[in-house]
Structure 1
Amino acid sequence: MFSFDAEYVDAAKFGAENKLDVPFLMPDENRILNDENRKQISELFIHYSGIPAKSWERRITGQCVAAHFLLMDKIANILGSQPALTLGWVEAGGREFYRFGQQEVSRWLKEGIGSLTDAKLHMWLTLASMEIIDLTFVPSYIVVNKIPTNGNRPSNPPSEIL
């Protein structure tokens, strides 16, 4: 059975062994996200994206690194807790997206990653509670899978879209 907590710990150990500055998250079983701060994060994302509703998903696709890096400290201010930028892959709807492993990371460390837009990786924010804030996966999924939105941001949670 997949355990994000265990995967995160393994990735952090791998990062430390390769002299990467990986933030150590003290696991906290208390949930950090709630309806109010999720709403604030959503409003922050909409404000900083500057994207009109009718074209938002196309403009966000492929921008996971920029979006999460740009908003990380602002989200930390909302939550009162510093999230960790996290590179990884996603499993959703019975499919794997952006799958890579330690072998690819080792190669990237030696040779460079090249263009971030061409790299098969995904970035999100991870909280000490092991909750994930991912502002870009669902919009990218919508574009790639040609899911109609009629110009509106979906109000359904990701679990209902994927």
Structure 2
Amino acid sequence: MSGRIDARLAELGIELPKAAAPVAAYVPAVRTGNQLFISGQIPLWNGELRHVGKLGAGYSLEEGREAARTCALNLIAQAKAALDGDLDRITRVVKLVGFVNSTGDFNDQPKVINGASELMQEVFGDAGRHARSAVSASSLPLGVAVEVEAIFEVA
């Protein structure tokens, strides 16, 4: 299915990865009412693990931002799968929660998660502006640098 958001992705030269299957005891998405909750996404690209590292211990801020952007692309891919391919059903990005694998003295978590936030605004425009949390984690699954989860409002 191709719509306004798919056209915007094409205009931006953005390709979505395949929606990853869950690797533990959870489902990738749950819809309740007009809200779609997407489970935390790590920087996988079509099954290939990317962005393994710890911010503040040799992994750069720019690499962290790119990891967050990859997570956001996975969030959109999961939303597309949950909405039967119709991203135009997303009326708003409500909230992102970003986890940054970082050392105790690293304090630029918000700058890292901007990689995800800025992508949502690029793709969804004003509807991509959202509430957000950006927190540090001493480790993340598979040693990835970032994990991001989302809540979308849908029609």
TM-score, normalised with respect to structure 1: 0.28
Larger Rg: 1
Where is the strand percentage greater, Structure 1 or Structure 2?
2
